[in-house]
């Protein structure tokens, strides 16, 4: 089974702060995704990538940047964090995209004060 890890697991920052969330997958999957989970909205796609150096815009990209540095590593960047970005963030990977199983990490809980 694919292993997806995220760090940190919890993060507190202030409005305007700079935050980087990290994700690593160890099964050499092609696709990696960043979601945010909020009550009443389910999982919403922020950004995704189909390989190192590639980035695709998701459904709620405003205020977020992302970078896929290697096949294994995908980072989510909040350069000027706002309270509206307080959320639970999940990273996921899959081998062949939307028609394949997505394997999720344990999540990062972010609080922006």
> Which residues does residue 112 pair with via DSSP β-bridges, in sequence order?
13
| Shortest Å distance, C-beta 98 to another protein | 3
Asked if residue 44 binds another protein (CB under 8 A), the reply is: yes
Asked if residue 107 binds another protein (CB under 8 A), the reply is: yes
| Shortest Å distance, C-beta 12 to another protein | 18
Residue number with CB closer to another protein (17 or 45) = 45
Q: Which of 24, 93, 105, 110 binds another protein (CB under 8 A)?
A: 105
Residue number with CB closer to another protein (4 or 78) = 4
CA distance 48 to 34: 6
CA distance 100 to 43: 17
**E strands present in 8-107:** 10-13, 19-25, 31-38, 42-49, 56-57, 65-68, 73-78, 87-94, 103-104
Residue number with CB closer to another protein (16 or 97) = 97
Residue span binding another protein (CB under 8 A) among the ranges 14-22, 64-72, 76-84, 99-107: 99-107
The 3-state DSSP class for residue 3 equals coil
């Amino acid at each position: 089974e694919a292993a997806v890890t995220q760090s940190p697991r919890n993060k507190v920052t202030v409005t305007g702060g700079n935050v980087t969330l990290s994700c690593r997958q160890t099964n050499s999957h092609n696709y990696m995704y960043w979601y945010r989970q909020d009550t009443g909205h389910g999982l919403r796609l922020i950004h995704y990538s189909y390989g190192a150096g590639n980035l695709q815009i998701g459904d709620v990209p405003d205020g977020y940047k992302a970078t896929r540095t290697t096949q294994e590593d995908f980072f989510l960047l909040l350069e000027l964090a706002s309270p509206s970005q307080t959320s639970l963030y999940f990273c996921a990977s899959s081998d062949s995209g939307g028609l394949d199983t997505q394997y999720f990490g344990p999540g990062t809980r972010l609080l922006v004060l």
